[in-house]
Amino acid sequence: MLKSIEKKLVEKPNKKDREVVIVFPFNTETKEIFLIQEYIHTYDRKFWKFVSGGVDKVDKDIITHAIEELAEEVSMESSVFYHLYSSERVFGNRPMHYFIAENPMIMDNPPENPDTDFITAVKWVNLAGFQEMLDKQELLWDQGTMCALQAFRKYQ
C-alpha cells in the first residue's frame, strides 16, 4: 500500500489534473502584451490566448515551468519574471499560476516545443487593442484575461 502511494507521489501528474502556468510577455516601454493564436486540435479551431503550459515535471518549481514554457512556445526569454497571481483548485478547476515576463527577447537557440498544437499568428497589443479583442469576443473573459488586465495596470 505504501509503495503504491509513494509511486503516485513521484509520477508525472495526469494531464487534466496538472497545474498550469500562464506567462504574459510584456513590453514595459510600449505597454504591450504578447498574444498567440493557436490551433488547438482538441477543439479543431484557433484561439487567441496567452503562453501557457501544464506543470508536468515533478522535479521543477512553478517559475521554472513558466520560464520553459516561454522558451518552448514562443522562443523567448526574459531576465525579469514576476509572479502575478495563483489560484487554488476550486470546483474542479486546475490551479493556475500567472507570471509576467518583462521585455522578453527572442532566443538564439530555443528548445523544441513538444506540443502538438501549433501557433498560427502572434501579436503585441496595447490595452486599447486588448479591450477591443475582449469586446469583439476574440478573447474570452476568464481568469487569464482578468490577470492580463492586472498586468496592464502594473505598468500604467
Collect all residues with Cβ–Cβ distance below 8 Å to 48 and sequence separation of at least 6. Answer: 35, 36, 37, 133, 138, 139
Residues 73-102: pLDDT tens digits? 999 999 999 999 999 877 667 899 999 999
Q: Supply angle C-alpha 69, 92, 135, rounded to 5.
A: 65
- Stretch 50-54: mean pLDDT, rounded? 94
Q: What local confidence, expressed as pLDDT, does residue 8 receive?
A: 46
Confidence of residue 58 (pLDDT cuts 50, 70, 90): confident
CATH numbers and ranges of domains, the chain:
19-154 (3.90.79.10)
Q: What local confidence, expressed as pLDDT, does residue 49 receive?
A: 96
Name residue 125's beta-bridge partners.
Answer: 33
